[in-house]
Amino acid sequence: MKFLYIAEIVGKPGIWSVKTMMPFLKKEFNPDFTVMNVNSATGGNGIGKQHAGYLHKLGGNVLTAGSSVFLKKDLCANIEKTPYVIRPANLAETSPGKGFIIRHTGKTSGGGAGEAAVISLAGTFAPSRLHAENPFACFSRIIGDIRKKTPFILVDIHALMTAEKRAFFYHAEGKVSAVIGSGGKVQTTDGEILPGGTAVITDAGRTGSLVSVGGSSPAPKIFEYLTGIPDWTKDCWKNPAVQGVCVTTDRAGKAVDIQAFTRKPEDFSFSPGITEEEKAPEQPDAGYGIE
């Protein structure tokens, strides 16, 4: 089994990057199952229904989201109609949607056949509005039943504390194929396979602008830190790229390879331009009064 994980998609530049490079990524990695983190896909915060459907059509078998999963009302109200979008499993049972999904892979690349599972979890250090349960306890409660159905399991843990993610890696070791950390939007270089056969990485990074603050324009963020006044996230189009992780397992669901990657348009045989329709106009930095 080969999982392709697309790191957190940020705004229009992130969606454009997926649209532009996904055909080449599929050719390069030949995945059996593709997971996309869409926590920041719409306007840099959350995921809207239309964007969810579009990214699903672009090849995302399952879309995960963390702390911002319910920020867009159109998806929140229709999440039951978009079963390929999953919210953190450790939210309240009364929360709309589901926290994990088991789907048929459709094809295999030689590492096993059948179904694959994806679990989404939110870390304990997250916005209080989520009211999330302890992810460790939630995982322990649900993993047994999931393992009865498939050994091919990927966990996306959206958390801000490195120590929490690292501790969770060992908690899940031997029980799942991979644990991919998200939330930091900065790719780490610590990808490894634990002795129990679980591939792990602290953060898969982001999909969108690499010359930015977490995929967003730097000026509004600087303004926030200088003044303490919250400002809307604005798209940044400098140096767009797709970051992510490819995990290969054996037929028993044990990881045998993990590869973190960063791909830019110029890495392929062409370098497409960004049309005016795709690019939203950026606010000039001077408008923030920052010297």
The enclosing domain of 237 has a CATH number of 3.60.21.10
What's the pLDDT tens digit per position in 10-64? 999 999 999 999 999 999 999 999 999 999 998 888 899 999 999 999 999 999 9
Structural domain includes residue 285: no
Report the alpha-carbon distance of residue 224 to residue 228 in Å, rounded. 5
Structural domain includes residue 140: yes
Instruction: Assign 286 a pLDDT band (cuts: 50, 70, 90).
Output: very low
Structural domain includes residue 287: no
Answer yes or no: is pLDDT of 284 > 60. Answer: no
Is the pLDDT higher at 124 or at 176?
176
Structural domain includes residue 290: no
Residues 94-121: what's their mean pLDDT? 82
Residue with tokens 């960004």: 274
Least confident of 13-27, 139-153, 240-254, 273-287: 273-287
Structural domain includes residue 275: no
Number of domains in the chain: 1
pTM (two decimals): 0.90
Q: What is the pLDDT of residue 273?
A: 62
For 149, the domain range is 2-269
Structural domain includes residue 101: yes
Mean pLDDT of the chain: 88
Structural domain includes residue 288: no
Structural domain includes residue 111: yes
Q: Pseudo-torsion of CA 12, 15, 20, 22, nearest 10°?
A: 170
Report the alpha-carbon distance of residue 183 to residue 19 in Å, rounded. 22
